[in-house]
Amino acid sequence: MHAITQSGWIEVISGSMFSGKTEELLRRLRRAEIAGQEISVFKPQLDDRYGETTVGSHAGRSWEASVVPSEGEGVWQIAEELNGEDVVAIDEANFFSAELVDVCEALAADGKRVVVSGTDQTFRAEPFDPLPQLMALAEYVDKLQAICTVCGEPATRNQRLIDGEPAHVDDPTILVGAEESYEARCRNCHTLRRD
């Protein structure tokens, strides 16, 4: 991969839950920090799994983050809070409104390296906006895979479980959780209740 150094760009880290997206985001931030780059990290108000102002991985690594509104014009708070940082990281992009796409485009146009992570599919295995739009516009896209908890094959789907059973296809799209409500599954082991 040839690194762009003369202008801004967008990197997207996507994949199913438990595929290491946030871990990869944190790895890139550590490298930027070692390189002496100034970093600003953001997360959506909706995600408080690892603390209100912390971006955390399932492996236990974390980074302090600013919390911004997930919906509408509030997403522009990301651009407003910057103070000369070189790298802008945004975790759980799937919880933000479509306005995040314009924010990322504006930041890249302003010379920023924008690193975004989030799951690209809902529990129904449908595109999880705004990730597909960000992936289409990004200079670099990495799609990570987890391991299916049923058969051990590479997993690309998010299996939502309610009391240990597959969620119904008509359940709400967003339910913030971790192991207690989601598993990584492959295409063949992913199921939805339709009754």
Residue ranges of the domains in the chain?
A: 9-145
Max Cα distance, the chain (Å): 55
Residues flagged as binding site for ATP: 15-22, 91-94
**Comparing 3 with 129, which gets the higher pLDDT?**
129
Instruction: Report, as residue numbers or ranges, the catalytic residues.
Output: 92
Residue 5: pLDDT band (50, 70, 90) is: low
Residues flagged as binding site for substrate: 174-177, 182
Residues flagged as binding site: 15-22, 91-94, 148, 151, 174-177, 182, 186, 189
Residue 181: pLDDT band (50, 70, 90) is: confident
Mean pLDDT computed over 42-53? 72
Whether residue 130 is preceded by a cis peptide bond, meaning omega within 30 degrees of 0, is: yes
Predicted local confidence at residue 37, as pLDDT: 96
Predicted local confidence at residue 70, as pLDDT: 87
Q: pTM score > 0.85 for this model? A: yes
Neighbours of 10 (CB within 10 A): 23
Whether pLDDT at 180 is above 90: no
Whether pLDDT at 148 is above 80: yes
How do beta strands 62-64 and 54-56 pair? antiparallel
Predicted local confidence at residue 63, as pLDDT: 77
> Can you read off the two tokens belonging to residue 3?
């690194």
Mean pLDDT computed over 155-164? 93
* Domain 9-145, CATH class in plain words: alpha beta
